[in-house]
A = this chain, B = another copy of it.
């Protein structure tokens, strides 16, 4: 179990509930025992999908477990099912959309089913000040954003833990019976003060890995696109899946979207460093205006010496989410480095992209209220 100890000697913290500091993503591959998404895997994905999503091209999705086996099975007509999720502790911010946008691309290109879990129970258990009514309300709000991303209503099933517990609980029990306190202590860093709901919770996050097999009454391969911070849960799931008669779920891990102040992961708990899907144009302007850039102390100095796009939250936003065109991203970086592009203009370009994205998203999000019932899981 030593390789599972998430207590870092590193200067960052990464658990499903806490992300702090500057994460060494390459090191996580070794630490967690995952595999790098390499050229061979990329070209196999490209062959099937007909293109590579920009998040794959740019190494935002950068690590995986068992994806080669998943593609082998896919090529033998044994399709996988997608599973991803969200902890509804607040409104959706654009960082959350990253893996969802990617999952939608996979759904479309591979023509597969998707289970989307909204863990209102988790967020209640791990946030002292939240009531279950709050997290359930946020689950319904977040569901609108999921739908707005454009998933296929016939192939997408949104699970809300407390609403769908009748389906999830028997599967969670099977997992829970085979996970002991030692394991969750080592994997999640729990101690004697952790509440018993939190201790049990990982079983609930395991349950959707088994659900497609139960519904189809055969072993169904499952692929989980998720932030690398969620890998801990699925390491536990993978350890018990075969004993329970299921395949180990495969994973595709993304790096975490950075915050606008450059301090780490985009977080809903620091609203000013994060753009929410419900933000107005004025709010976008204000937040981008305040974003930390790689610019110089004065326009004059920047024209002379150039800026540094590598440490710039504005460029990061563009890279992670708001500019699909690789050449355009590179061109802007070049113009920044050369001193040709100043921060004001550069921020203006990003604002335009974000605002046009949000305008489209917010329209779809309103329409989603009528589509909600089509997307909610029904047993």
Contact = CB atoms under 8 A, between A and B. Distances in A.
B182 A193 contact: yes
Given A121-B173, A132-B173, A173-B121, A202 B196 contact: yes
B180 A193 contact: yes
Contacts of A162: 166, 169-170, 173
Contacts of A163: 166
B192 A176 contact: no
A181 B165 contact: no
**Interface range on chain A: under 10, 10 to 19, 20 to 34, or 35 or more?**
35 or more
Interface of A: 121, 124-125, 132, 162-163, 165-166, 169-170, 172-174, 176-182, 184-185, 190-200, 202-203
A121 B169 contact: yes
A182 to B, nearest CB: 4
Chain copies in the assembled complex: 2
Contact of A181 (B170, B179, B199): B199
A177 B126 CA distance: 8
Contacts of A176: 125, 195-198, 200
Contacts of A203: 196-197
Contacts of A191: 181
Contacts of A193: 180-182
A189 B189 CA distance: 21
A19 to B, nearest CB: 23
Given A165-B165, A166-B166, A180-B192, A197 B173 contact: yes
A196 B199 contact: yes
Contacts of A174: 132
A24 B173 CA distance: 35
Contacts of A192: 180-182, 185
A201 to B, nearest CB: 8
Given A165-B165, A196-B199, A200-B200, A181 B190 contact: yes
